[in-house]
Structure 1
Amino acid sequence: MYTWLHVLDWRATSDPDALAVSDDREQLTYRQFRARVERTAAQWWARGIRPDDVVAVIARNSAEFLVQTLGLMRLGALPLLVNWRMTAHEIDRLLDTATPAGIFVDQAYQSVMENRDDLVRVVSGAKSEGWTGADCCGEPPAPYPRDRLRADQAAFLMHSSGTTGLPKIIPLDHGALIRGLAGFAIDIGDQQRGSRHLVMMPLFHLAGFAQAMQCFLTGGTLFIHDGVDIDRVINVIGRERINFFTAAPTIVEMLVDTMERTTQDADLSSLLEVQYGAAPIESELLERALRVICRRFRQIYGSTELQGFLSVLRPEDHVPGSARLATAGQISQGWEARIVDPAGNAQPTGAPGELWVRSENVIREYWRNPGETEAAFTSDGWYRTGDMAVLDEDNFLRIVGRSKDMIISGGENVYPAEIERALLDHPAVVDVAVVARPHPKWGETPVAFVVCAAGVVPDVGELDSHCRERLAGFKCPSSIEHITELPRNALGKVRKVELRERLVAGSA
């Protein structure tokens, strides 16, 4: 089977003059893109990087990010895509675990290299092709050995979000990613040669990187944004006739809000579909989005460990008011899924439990971490996702929380997602997260952190009454804390570990 370098070779041969990538600094055709990737592989080789060496990539979204990552992949090295939003201490711990031989950084993140004199170091900047000093000038470096890459070979490394602790390093295979993304492209149908994609999700995360790879697989053009500027997003969709983008529901809401109040000419008519993940889309938001953005939305549920998507809520299921909007869609072809109790016994249809999955696309191991690998897999190959979920009779999946987030109060299982949905039904509540607080009598009780609309702050008694009208008493929060903003990671997921730390510190 292919590797990603075969895909790039194919596109550079079949569509050499088609535009491959465009960002604020440059535009590259597929021919130019492949040439830059090959040159970058040779430059890393000349600097002493060898196959299987780890090279950390700490950079914001850009064409150069992709050139460096694919160049390292071409060499057979392992680029480690690092979340630059982590603190310096967190990055240090990650690099100590990964023990890289080299590092590529944006100029803004050079400080992470201060105590890394042992590494091959390259800083992206205004000079040619991201290389500094003698490497950017003069004769090209000597050719490098082009070892045969395999489909079952690790292409690159990512790391978990660390919302519950120290990130784990995750190796992703060439073949598994191609297989998953090819199936997704077939399911959509409209992603084909010449399609125009906007990526604004971080490329260090699978949501952003997979969109880029899917664009190349289908022969499209990738327009790269570094971060989310809604006015700029609207302008580029109209100017460049964008067909697809991926976003979290929070970004969709920002786009809808802006479109509804804008007085300028804004043309989103080129959009064929919006893909989103990380959370379901609310019925009211979907109704507005269908009116002002486009007529097709698709929810994707997956994770880095699954090397793609497990379930999809297709456009035909995006009907305002439909119960299916609360789900993550239907289990996809090639996947087995089961819901189990704490002892690993299968739960009946409609009963909640932990979601276990099995497929050729699941990673084989956490990198250099046999303990976490053993904990994540059963002896017969089921991967424990850690998500608490329900499967209905039509194989639609509804996520009700994380197993580590589940609250056991007085012997009863309490799922934070259920409480969060109830509070979001209150018109003044715009965001909410529920975590556990230790309790001397009940073991744990739920605490809700609530963000309210500007200028509207209902008292705690009103919110408590709202919950008690909708939830059993043991599920209702023992405390409701007002907060101006929930801490989130790069994909928009709430960092509940920070909220738990607030409780322990006594600041809430």
Structure 2
Amino acid sequence: MTTNTALHSIAELIDARAAERGEETFMINAQDGALFSFARLKEETDRLRANFDAIGLAPGDKVSVYMPNGPLPAILLLGIMASGLVVNPVNLLSQPSQLVHVLRHSDTRLVFTSREHQPALEQALAQVERSVAVVLCDPESMHVPLAPSLPPVAGVADRLVTHRIAPDEPALIMYTSGTTGVPKGVLLTHANLLANAASTSQVHALGESDRVMVSLPLYHINALVVALITPLFHGGSLVMSPRFSAKTFWADVCGFGCTWINVVPTIIAYLLNDEAGAQGRDLSALKFCRSASAALAPEHHRAFESRFGLGIIETMGLTETAAPSFSNPLAARERRIGSVGRPAGALAAVMGVDGQLLPAGERGEIVLQGPHVMQGYYKDPVRTREAFTDDGWLRTGDVGYQDADGFFYITGRSKELIIKGGENIAPREIDEAVLKHPKVLDAAAVGVPHPEYGQEIAVYLVMRDGAEFDAADLRRHCLAELGNYKCPSRFVQMLELPRGPSGKLQRLRLLEQPA
């Protein structure tokens, strides 16, 4: 692994890798195979910093990127942070009202976008009460475009080209895609991002020879930190894909020599459903498959490992913790199916409703501390205070427990628990039982109102290609797996379940659907 002594910012990280790795490949464009070196990354980010300085941006100013995956968005995200600015990757799945809120609330002064997304951006900016400059880009380019001049801001003295970035300076605002209320802007520092890149590199034993496939969107914390900043940290490389496609995934992974893959449970389900995708492919160069962002059903875990002969390392993290906080061990014999693993670069505990930490085996809210935990929510001191306990633990909202060996298990979200007749039922328990049915591709349980029990269990599910939906058959299956009390009373077929860009199930949105 490369030397990482005393790195304080993304700028110092880029400088160090350019000095050590020079013309070695940092990024490959999956579209055309074009190579992009560490030295070229420094050249482009230096050019970007000079441009930002010339147009009047100052340290701490906000710049947004509203683009699909590609080499250029990757360069822009790193370069904006390396310039001493705060980057705001905008979720392409944002609804119009959310997009307006993000652009307004983030105080962004400049937006890089593609022609495909220019109309939606312009409609949103028309509702923002200040001038915001727009730069049109080609995501497949490897050369940063010049930004236009900006209106001057009074009182700005510090210049980007001479500013030395401190570790506790903000580098990133990422808005969470919550299902209720307006999105919250998670504020992460250079130290937060570097801490998690270091932890991910360490727990997965990644080095200069390792290469990861980037098929998740860079406007999500998982891809940004795990698949972009982490390879830069350990001097490895990445293959940049515009989006996930089951048809091309294995061909790209094998053809470009990837040594690990970073996916979410939804991608695992799609790969399992694609009978021909990996046929004839040699997967022996792959060390592991990393699954993140949402709990992975044990049935899918076992089926994937059996089908592809590739071990899965299940992990978990939050936007508020700059991605992973838990990871299963690298050694296959030490992993625990169904667990998100042990704390990685963090302290973790389970807290009861009285604020006391609970012993192994008892369920409560999972709480975290560590160098990767956010500064807070941007311009939102109330929700920032609510996110932390009085003694500094970050409240995750995840309900779970740890076993005697320190492995953590997530059983649901505190707001998603099903309470039937006074008994708490973890939705994931129902999900996993339904997913054991051979005809079911995806499933999610929710509690819906019931006049006697308070709530009853409804399951929304996606059938495998060509499989017939049969509610009576599904009920017989669930009775055998769960017993009568926990057996769902309703089964609703859907074309797909509502998920965020990370693949995380947005369970509460199902309550908006007819059951």
Q: TM-score, normalised by structure 2?
A: 0.88
Q: From the superposition, tell whether residues 144 and 373 of structure 1 become closer, same or farther in structure 2 (CA, over 3 Å).
A: closer
Q: CA deviation at 1:282?
A: 4.6
> Which residue of the partner structure matches residue 156 of structure 2?
none
CA contact (8 A) 1:41 1:75 kept: yes
SS in 1 for 2:63: strand
SS in 2 for 1:60: coil
Residues 220-246 of structure 1 deviation map (CA, whole Å, 9 limit, x = unaligned): 122100111233222222322111220
Match of 1:113 among 122, 125, 139: 122
Match of 2:316 among 298, 301, 320: 301
What is the rounded CA distance, in whole Å, between the counterparts of 1:437 and 1:291 in structure 2? 36
How many residues matched? 491
More deviation in 474-483 or 277-286?
A: 277-286
SS in 2 for 1:278: coil
Q: How does 1:125-164 map to 2 (within 5 A)?
A: 125=138, 129-131=143-145, 145-164=161-180
Q: How does 1:373-392 map to 2 (within 5 A)?
A: 373-392=384-403
Q: From the superposition, tell whether residues 261 and 192 of structure 1 become closer, same or farther in structure 2 (CA, over 3 Å).
A: same
Q: CA deviation at 1:472?
A: 5.5
CA contact (8 A) 2:110 2:134 kept: yes
Determine if the alignment matches structure 1 residue 122 to structure 2 residue 122.
Answer: no
What is the rounded CA distance, in whole Å, between the counterparts of 2:507 and 2:92 in structure 1? 20
Determine if the alignment matches structure 1 residue 370 to structure 2 residue 381.
Answer: yes
Residues 141-196 of structure 1 deviation map (CA, whole Å, 9 limit, x = unaligned): xx95330101111111112122344221111121122122212212222x212322
> Which residue of the partner structure matches residue 153 of structure 2?
none
> Which residue of the partner structure matches residue 344 of structure 2?
332
Gaps of 5+ in 1: 136-142
> Which residue of the partner structure matches residue 7 of structure 1?
13
CA contact (8 A) 1:56 1:81 kept: yes
Q: From the superposition, tell whether residues 291 and 439 of structure 1 become closer, same or farther in structure 2 (CA, over 3 Å).
A: closer
> Which residue of the partner structure matches residue 171 of structure 1?
187
What is the rounded CA distance, in whole Å, between the counterparts of 2:171 and 2:148 in structure 1? 29
SS in 2 for 1:325: coil
Match of 1:29 among 37, 46, 63: 37
CA contact (8 A) 2:195 2:345 kept: no
Q: From the superposition, tell whether residues 288 and 475 of structure 1 become closer, same or farther in structure 2 (CA, over 3 Å).
A: closer
Q: CA deviation at 1:405?
A: 0.7
Q: How does 1:27-426 map to 2 (within 5 A)?
A: 27-111=35-119, 112-114=121-123, 115=126, 118-125=131-138, 129-131=143-145, 145-189=161-205, 191-210=206-225, 211-258=227-274, 261=276, 265-283=280-298, 285-290=300-305, 293-317=308-332, 324-332=336-344, 334-340=346-352, 342-426=353-437
Residues 59-94 of structure 1 deviation map (CA, whole Å, 9 limit, x = unaligned): 111121122222221222111111112222321122
Asked which structure has the greater RCO (Cα within 8 Å, sep 6+), the reply is 2
SS in 2 for 1:49: coil
Q: From the superposition, tell whether residues 458 and 196 of structure 1 become closer, same or farther in structure 2 (CA, over 3 Å).
A: closer
SS in 2 for 1:326: coil
What is the rounded CA distance, in whole Å, between the counterparts of 2:250 and 2:220 in structure 1? 23
CA contact (8 A) 1:317 1:325 kept: no
Gaps of 5+ in 2: 1-5, 150-158
What is the rounded CA distance, in whole Å, between the counterparts of 1:394 and 1:263 in structure 2? 36
More deviation in 101-110 or 471-480?
A: 471-480
CA contact (8 A) 1:256 1:293 kept: no
Determine if the alignment matches structure 1 residue 17 to structure 2 residue 17.
Answer: no
CA contact (8 A) 1:237 1:267 kept: no
What is the rounded CA distance, in whole Å, between the counterparts of 1:255 and 1:485 in structure 2? 15
CA contact (8 A) 2:311 2:332 kept: no
SS in 1 for 2:337: helix
What is the rounded CA distance, in whole Å, between the counterparts of 1:468 and 1:264 in structure 2? 36
RMSD: 2.6
Q: From the superposition, tell whether residues 306 and 263 of structure 1 become closer, same or farther in structure 2 (CA, over 3 Å).
A: closer
What is the rounded CA distance, in whole Å, between the counterparts of 1:120 and 1:45 in structure 2? 15
SS in 2 for 1:399: strand
What is the rounded CA distance, in whole Å, between the counterparts of 1:457 and 1:292 in structure 2? 24
SS in 2 for 1:230: coil
Q: CA deviation at 1:253?
A: 4.0
CA contact (8 A) 2:58 2:85 kept: yes
Q: CA deviation at 1:403?
A: 0.6
CA contact (8 A) 1:47 1:120 kept: no
What is the rounded CA distance, in whole Å, between the counterparts of 1:235 and 1:215 in structure 2? 21
CA contact (8 A) 2:188 2:375 kept: no
Q: CA deviation at 1:113?
A: 2.4
What is the rounded CA distance, in whole Å, between the counterparts of 1:405 and 1:302 in structure 2? 18
Q: From the superposition, tell whether residues 42 and 161 of structure 1 become closer, same or farther in structure 2 (CA, over 3 Å).
A: same
